[in-house]
């Protein structure tokens, strides 16, 4: 059962390797890290029991090597027959071979050829220089002499670039190693030479960055036999230096001289066992030292780790499978369902239905984070436009002196006896025209919102799938909306023109002239409070008459225009007055007003404010209705007809259904991911 668990993860690794990896599925694996001179390769070869890794100076391991060891039992009484066409050398066995994932079906009985293939495949990816790549090589080794185990051999840490190595080789290697060991399901196998200070171990230092508590790190101490006489690693093994959850295992590898002398690994393992059994510091714990114990311990750690993480792996596989299946469904089949004309008709129908749905607020994808569709148009009407209209001040451009000038001009050659209605109408009409610009701006804002809805709909996968159709549809809708804006602008402008064309002073909300005079009179000369005689209890009569009221009726001393002419001649001496010089080319009303002129001006301003407020309310109410009728409602009702006429009835329908390169490529990727994840789901379902 334990072997089956590890083999299950191996099959999952193969499935994901064929997909190029899947970052959302973190598989349990043992990652080997250490410096270049720590002896990583020798540890792996000792575990396998065969020479198969490239050797040399500098960076030899330049791509991650996913090493899957599978124990296969052999019945000595029933030897495995040698297949036809296979010849074996003296050191080769029919029960022991290697397979590469990139060469399916090909068995390597000669482990020297395995080394050559690793070199060839590495150079294929990285070139002949000393560059590195994070794309792994997957190697499976089947042997009765190994324990079922999965190890990932990573490039050794280096500090100084040598030869044609990249200048930032240290950073490149560190980034690659962190990519593998930072995954929570990765067990870190940190290899350190025992003849160096453990505190300076590059492998342990890197492991502590991602596993500061040492909960998923196991230490391997190499070169025990090269330590100075009288020294040992007992304190390290006891966890008194840098404690790790899985502890440390001391091993002895072949040295360079042993390798050059072709010393067999079998002999090296025998020397290792003899060394620990006879060494005074280690013989009491010799059964916990050496490569065979390391292999058993790694097998046990990996097996328990897989048991703990398998439920989460199953969940992640099914989650990823559902995600890619949903995306594949959105991308659609690679063959057209039905005729091209039916496809275009379906796309047009889907677009128009979605357009109406978003405007009406009936979409199934209503956002909780922001306003969209019809709600944004409502915001334009009731917030932007209403506040913009209310911000218009009727007296921002018309000052009191301008009102007096119009009053004089409207009375002609005869001084006016009463406040002139002509002046009121002239000013009101001028101010009403100021509503036109914000009203037309409102039309433009609503048009922008309709285009925004268009762009929102075109983000759906069905439209991204056919870029030509998407472009044609977008162009047609925008042109249609622009054409609809023209009559909408005219309607809104006509509404403003109607209001300025006829001033309805009989409007029920309009203040009357008498009421305006009364309010102005009350403002300037408030009615005095009735004073009661405390002795008699009767009110005291007011005998003094208000002279300004008489002036308002036209009976004052200065008449209707005395103040105007008085101000004009105020600076003239009598001699110049007698000369009766012609009037200047530009005459303006005086900036200083008499009490009567002030009250007349206030009456006009009160009348203007009253009528302006009526038109303001009318525009806030009617302009949105006009825009809804002529632009929004019109587009909802006529857009489908427009699209059918411009797209469906044209003769180049098949051209519009050419898929984008992104869609074709992404569909292939999703199909590949779905197939791989389905295979992975079947694998984990068997556990």
Beta carbons of 373 and 446 less than 8 angstroms apart: no
* Best CA proximity match to 659, nearest among 337, 325, 339, 336: 336
pLDDT at 518: 66
Task: Determine which helix (DSSP H) or strand (DSSP E) holds 321, and give its type and residue range.
Answer: helix 291-331
Query: Could you tell me the sign of the dihedral formed by the alpha carbons of 18, 24, 28, 29, in that order?
Result: positive
Task: Determine which helix (DSSP H) or strand (DSSP E) holds 187, and give its type and residue range.
Answer: strand 186-193
**Chain centroid to CA 676:** 28
pTM score above 0.75: no
Q: What does the block give as tokens for 495?
A: 């509404």
Residues facing residue 250 across a β-bridge: 221
Which phi and psi angles does 465 have, rounded to 5°? -65, -35
Instruction: Using CB atoms within 10 Å of the CB of residue 61, give its burial: 0 to 12 exposed, 13 to 18 middle, 19+ buried.
Output: buried
CA distance 598 to 591: 11
Using DSSP, state whether 153 is helix, strand or coil. strand
φ/ψ bin of 247: left (φ > 0), alpha (ψ from -120 to 50), beta (otherwise): left
Beta carbons of 264 and 224 less than 8 angstroms apart: no
Q: Which residues of 39-54 are buried (b: 16+ CB within 10 A; e: fewer)?
A: bbbbbbbbbbbbbbbe
Domains belonging to the chain, first-starting first, are 27-74+90-289 (3.40.50.300), 340-525+589-650 (1.20.120.1240)
DSSP state of 435: G
Task: Give the residue carrying structure tokens 């048009």.
Answer: 447
User: Helices 421-432 & 400-411, crossing angle to 10 degrees?
Assistant: 130
Please, how many CA atoms are within 13 Å of residue 678, restricted to the half-sphere of its CB? Answer: 8
* Best CA proximity match to 473, nearest among 626, 302, 644: 644
CA distance 422 to 416: 11
pLDDT in tens, 334-382: 554 556 677 778 788 888 888 888 888 776 665 555 676 788 888 899 8
Query: Could you tell me the sign of the dihedral formed by the alpha carbons of 613, 616, 618, 620, in that order?
Result: negative
pLDDT in tens, 160-179: 766 666 777 788 888 888 98
pLDDT in tens, 652-672: 666 666 666 666 777 777 777
Q: What does the block give as tokens for 463?
A: 């439209």
CA distance 218 to 201: 13
Using DSSP, state whether 192 is helix, strand or coil. strand
CA distance 665 to 82: 44
Q: What does the block give as tokens for 582?
A: 């012609």
Q: Which residues of 66-97 are buried (b: 16+ CB within 10 A; e: fewer)?
A: bbbbbbeeeeeeeeeeeeeeeeeeeeeeeebb
Beta-carbon contacts of residue 492 (< 8 Å; ≥ 6 apart): 436, 439, 440, 442, 443, 623, 626, 627
Task: Give the residue carrying structure tokens 């956002």.
Answer: 367
* Best CA proximity match to 601, nearest among 397, 408, 412, 432: 408
Beta carbons of 177 and 154 less than 8 angstroms apart: yes
- What is the number of H-type helices and E-type strands within the chain? 25, 8
pLDDT at 547: 44
CA distance 637 to 7: 63
Using alpha carbons only, what angle is made at residue 9 by residues 8 and 14, rounded to the nearest 5 degrees?
100
**Could you say which residues of the chain have pLDDT below 70?**
1-3, 17-24, 56-60, 75-77, 84-85, 87, 90, 129-130, 161-165, 332-340, 363-370, 372, 396-421, 423, 506, 510, 512-533, 535, 537-538, 540-600, 649-663, 687
Q: Strand runs (DSSP E) across 95-254, as ranges? A: 97-100, 137-143, 149-153, 186-193, 217-222, 248-250
3-class SS letters over 322-372: HHHHHHHHHHCCCCCCCCHHHHHHHHHHHHHHHHHHHHHCCCCCCCCCCCC
Beta carbons of 251 and 46 less than 8 angstroms apart: yes
CA distance 109 to 86: 9
pLDDT at 432: 84
Going by DSSP bridges, is the β-strand pair 248-250/217-222 parallel, antiparallel, or unpaired? parallel
* Best CA proximity match to 217, nearest among 240, 252, 192, 254: 192
CA distance 439 to 553: 42
CA distance 330 to 152: 37
Locate all alpha helices (DSSP H) within 502-633, ordered by sequence: 513-524, 547-552, 562-569, 574-579, 595-627
* Best CA proximity match to 432, nearest among 364, 500, 524, 331: 500
CA distance 463 to 531: 84
Q: What does the block give as tokens for 493?
A: 């402008």
């Amino acid at each position: 059962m334990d072997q089956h668990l590890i083999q299950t993860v191996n099959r999952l690794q193969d499935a994901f390797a064929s997909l190029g990896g899947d970052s959302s599925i973190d598989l349990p694996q043992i990652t080997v890290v250490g410096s270049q001179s720590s002896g990583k390769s020798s540890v792996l070869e000792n575990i396998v029991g065969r020479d198969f890794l490239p050797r040399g100076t500098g960076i030899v391991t330049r791509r991650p090597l996913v090493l899957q060891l599978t124990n296969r039992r052999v019945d000595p009484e029933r030897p495995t027959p040698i297949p036809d066409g296979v010849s074996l050398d003296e050191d080769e066995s029919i029960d022991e071979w290697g397979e590469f994932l990139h060469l399916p079906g090909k068995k390597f009985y000669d482990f020297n050829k395995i080394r050559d293939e690793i070199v060839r495949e590495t150079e294929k990816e990285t070139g002949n220089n000393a560059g590195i790549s994070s794309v792994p090589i997957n190697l499976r080794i089947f042997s009765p002499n190994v324990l079922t185990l999965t190890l990932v051999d990573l490039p050794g840490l280096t500090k100084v670039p040598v030869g044609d190595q990249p200048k930032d080789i240290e950073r490149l290697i560190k980034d690659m190693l962190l990519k593998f060991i930072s995954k929570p399901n990765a067990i870190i196998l940190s290899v350190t030479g025992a003849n160096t200070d453990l505190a300076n171990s590059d492998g342990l230092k890197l492991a502590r960055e991602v596993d500061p508590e040492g909960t998923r790190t196991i230490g391997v101490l190499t070169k025990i036999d090269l330590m100075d006489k009288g020294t040992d690693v007992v304190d390290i093994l006891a966890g008194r230096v840098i404690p790790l959850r899985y502890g440390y295992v001391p091993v002895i590898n072949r040295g360079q001289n042993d390798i050059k002398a072709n010393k067999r690994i079998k002999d090296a393992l025998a020397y290792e066992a003899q060394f620990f059994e006879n060494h005074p510091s280690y013989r009491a714990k010799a059964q916990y030292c050496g490569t065979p114990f390391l292999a058993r311990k790694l097998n046990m750690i990996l097996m328990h780790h897989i048991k703990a993480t398998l439920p989460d792996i199953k969940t992640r596989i099914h989650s990823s499978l559902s995600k890619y299946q949903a995306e594949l469904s959105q991308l659609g089949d690679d063959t057209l369902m039905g005729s091209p004309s039916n496809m275009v008709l379906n796309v047009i129908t889907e677009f128009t239905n979605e357009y109406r749905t978003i405007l009406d607020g009936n979409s199934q994808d209503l956002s909780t984070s922001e306003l969209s569709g019809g709600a944004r148009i409502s915001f334009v009407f009731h917030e932007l436009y209403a506040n913009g209209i209310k911000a218009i001040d009727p007296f921002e451009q018309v000052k009191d002196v301008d009102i007096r000038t119009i009053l004089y001009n409207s009375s002609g050659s005869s001084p006016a006896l009463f406040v002139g209605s002509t002046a009121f109408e002239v000013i009101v009409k001028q101010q009403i025209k100021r509503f036109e610009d914000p009203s037309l701006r409102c039309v433009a804002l609503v048009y922008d919102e309709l285009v925004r809805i268009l762009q929102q709909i075109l983000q759906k996968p069905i439209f991204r799938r056919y870029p030509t159709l998407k472009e044609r549809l977008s162009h047609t809708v925008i042109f249609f909306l622009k054409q609809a804006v023209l009559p909408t602008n005219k309607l809104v402008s006509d509404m403003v023109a109607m209001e300025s064309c006829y001033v309805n002073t009989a409007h029920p909300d309009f203040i009357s002239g008498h009421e305006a005079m009364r309010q102005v009179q009350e403002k300037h000369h408030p009615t005095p409070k009735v004073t009661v005689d405390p002795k008699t209890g009767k009110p005291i009569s007011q005998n003094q008459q208000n002279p300004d009221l008489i002036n308002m009726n036209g009976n004052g001393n200065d008449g209707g225009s005395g103040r105007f002419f008085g101000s004009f001649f105020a600076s003239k001496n009598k001699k110049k007055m007698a000369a009766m010089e012609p009037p200047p080319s530009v005459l303006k009303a005086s900036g200083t007003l008499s009490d009567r002129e002030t009250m007349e001006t206030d009456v006009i301003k009160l009348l203007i404010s009253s009528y302006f407020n009526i038109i303001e309310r009318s525009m806030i109410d009617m302009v949105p209705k006009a825009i809804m009728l002529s632009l929004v409602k019109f587009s909802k009702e006529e857009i489908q007809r427009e699209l059918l006429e411009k797209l469906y009835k044209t003769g180049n329908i098949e051209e519009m259904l050419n898929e984008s390169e992104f869609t074709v490529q992404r569909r292939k990727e999703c199909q590949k991911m779905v197939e791989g994840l389905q295979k992975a789901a079947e694998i984990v379902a068997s556990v």
